Structure 1
Amino acid sequence: MQTWVIGNWKQNPATNHDVTMLVDSLLQATNKDNVTKNAATAVCQLMVAPSCIHLASVSARLQDSSLLCAAQDISAHSHSTGAYTGDCSAQQVADAGASWTILGHSERRQYHKECNDILVQKMSNALAQGLGIVLCVGETQAQYDAKQTLSVLDAQLSVIKELLNQQSNQSPECAQKLADHLIIAYEPVWAIGTGKVPTVTEVSATHEYIKQTVASFAAPLANISVLYGGSVNAVNADNFAASPMINGALVGGAALKADSFLAIADAFIRAKA
């Protein structure tokens, strides 16, 4: 099963200069330590998600490496063009060099009030342009304390079933197409950037539930990679990487420094090789 380590840069860095420095550091470190060569194998694929304004320049710089680029979001309104001020379409981010897009991140759900209907449309738009989807799911602190994690995940994962229902009318191969273009990232909201980290046992059990749930939607989805995100760092990465249920990491703050990001990647490369 494919392992992924993805750096979500969020609204960072602030300037083109700082973006260039970060990319330079990544390229220098991977060339020196040969991490890129290892990550390009079936063991672990590395990917970064810069902000939309930096996507084209970062993609161009990484073109001759094995690191991939993802967009942090795409428009729900159109997969190509339209009168949607401020939006970037799936076609536009693909043209800028993205091969994947992050969707459903808790910050989008919280600050932009994204609901399931919006996410289904975004997923459909991504597939229309051949973009892979990193679908983020996870519960809040209150939901975790109330032992509602699994019911929250059921509701969030239902977008996959809804998308399949919509696309099955268009193509009988839609389940396999989605399976080839989908990663799930479990990010408990209470652990993102807080330093609070669930146990590996907890995460592994949750990942197993996610895998079983998604597999119940369609047989081709049985081998979906499920990543963990939420205060993953160079110190705890080895513990998460050791679990067979954890197929990689979606990394936030630790992805803004090449050494910490690549240390996390190296932990997964060693564990999954």
Structure 2
Amino acid sequence: MQAWVIGNWKQNPATMSEVNALLETLLATVTDDSDRTSCQLMVAPSCVHLATVGQRLQNTPILCAAQDISAHSDSTGAYTGDCSAQQVADAGASWTIVGHSERRQYHQESHDALMYKLKHAFTQNLGVIFCVGETQEQYDNKQTLEVLNDQLAVVKDLLDKASHLAKTIADNLIIAYEPVWAIGTGKVPTVDEVSTTHDYIKTTLAGFSEALTQTRVLYGGSVNADNAESFAASPVIDGALVGGASLKAESFLAIADAFARAKKSG
């Protein structure tokens, strides 16, 4: 199975000039390097840069994703500040991140809101990177699996309410396990811990539908060039959702290389 390494740029870089410089460095390396065919690359720029990045990445080996979409409509409407699935697809995105812990924390995204976002994305033929993960307190209290059950139930409820989307969901869903306490903190769970959690996520998804047995599960949370190889060595870690390390081409590509090598040798 091909690995996926996705860069979530968050509210970065500050200027279009910096965005273009990062893209040019990435493309200069990736376009000339056929050794990364076992690893699919993707970047998720901020909404204001999405159209430019999407256009620049057309017909290149790097995919473009939005960082979020509206829960209110998949197309248009009186929702000031929102961008719909149709709009981000038109801007050049083929995927979107949904349910990132920062969105859950700062925007209080509910179960129903996340379910509608998934539905809107799939309706507009966008793939979804659906983020799940526990807080430090929940981890300390050994509630990780309970939290994951609650968060993954969004997928189950969507399947129950929109069974006609089952194949679309199966073909276009990636789960990103990101323990909140590891995002940008430098704290990193062990590879064994992450592998056990990924096994649980995959088993849970397979229990929802046989079609979800091949769903990719990525790890995110202080992934960098130094620890990527150890995560890539696990057969149940299918790639990485990368934050800060994706803002420098060298570190982002080093992570991709680690997963590419692991998939080739595995």
Rounded to whole Å, the distance in 2 between the matches of 1:23 and 1:152 is 36
Letter in 2 for 1:254: A
Contact 1:29/1:259, CA 8 A, preserved across alignment? no
1:97 aligned counterpart, secondary structure? coil
2:148 matched residue in structure 1: 153
By how many angstroms is 1:27 displaced? Answer: 1.1
Match for 1:197 among 184, 188, 193?
Answer: 188
Contact 2:99/2:131, CA 8 A, preserved across alignment? yes
Contact 2:178/2:221, CA 8 A, preserved across alignment? yes
Percent identity reads: 69
2:49 matched residue in structure 1: 54
| 2:25 is equivalent to residue 25 of structure 1 | yes
1:255 matched residue in structure 2: 246
1:88 matched residue in structure 2: 83
By how many angstroms is 1:60 displaced? Answer: 1.2
1:55-82 deviations in Å (ceiling 9; x for gaps): 1111111113110000000000000000
By how many angstroms is 1:228 displaced? Answer: 0.1
> Structure 2: which 5+ residue stretches go unaligned?
none
1:208 matched residue in structure 2: 199
Match for 1:178 among 162, 169, 184?
Answer: 169
Letter in 1 for 2:159: L
1:223 aligned counterpart, secondary structure? coil
1:67-116 deviations in Å (ceiling 9; x for gaps): 00000000000000001000000000000000000000000000000011
1:13 matched residue in structure 2: 13
1:102-251 paired onto structure 2 within 5 Å = 102-168=97-163, 171=164, 174-251=165-242
Rounded to whole Å, the distance in 2 between the matches of 1:141 and 1:7 is 23
1:268 matched residue in structure 2: 259
1:107-137 deviations in Å (ceiling 9; x for gaps): 0000000011100000000011000000000
Rounded to whole Å, the distance in 2 between the matches of 1:25 and 1:249 is 20
Contact 2:31/2:61, CA 8 A, preserved across alignment? no
Rounded to whole Å, the distance in 2 between the matches of 1:77 and 1:242 is 40
Contact 2:2/2:263, CA 8 A, preserved across alignment? no
By how many angstroms is 1:232 displaced? Answer: 0.2
2:70 matched residue in structure 1: 75
By how many angstroms is 1:2 displaced? Answer: 3.0
Rounded to whole Å, the distance in 2 between the matches of 1:31 and 1:272 is 20
By how many angstroms is 1:175 displaced? Answer: 2.0
1:22-77 deviations in Å (ceiling 9; x for gaps): 11111122234x0xx344x4x21100000011011111111131100000000000
Letter in 1 for 2:18: D
Rounded to whole Å, the distance in 1 between the matches of 2:35 and 2:70 is 34
> Structure 1: which 5+ residue stretches go unaligned?
none
Rounded to whole Å, the distance in 1 between the matches of 2:170 and 2:125 is 12
Rounded to whole Å, the distance in 1 between the matches of 2:263 and 2:150 is 31
TM-score by length of 2: 0.98
Letter in 1 for 2:89: A
1:3 matched residue in structure 2: 3
Rounded to whole Å, the distance in 1 between the matches of 2:200 and 2:3 is 18
1:56 aligned counterpart, secondary structure? helix
Rounded to whole Å, the distance in 2 between the matches of 1:204 and 1:48 is 24
TM-score by length of 1: 0.95
- How large is the RMSD of aligned CA atoms in angstroms? 0.8
2:240 aligned counterpart, secondary structure? strand
2:104 aligned counterpart, secondary structure? helix
Contact 2:5/2:240, CA 8 A, preserved across alignment? yes
1:87 aligned counterpart, secondary structure? coil
1:123-168 deviations in Å (ceiling 9; x for gaps): 0000110000000000000000000000000000000000001102
By how many angstroms is 1:176 displaced? Answer: 1.9
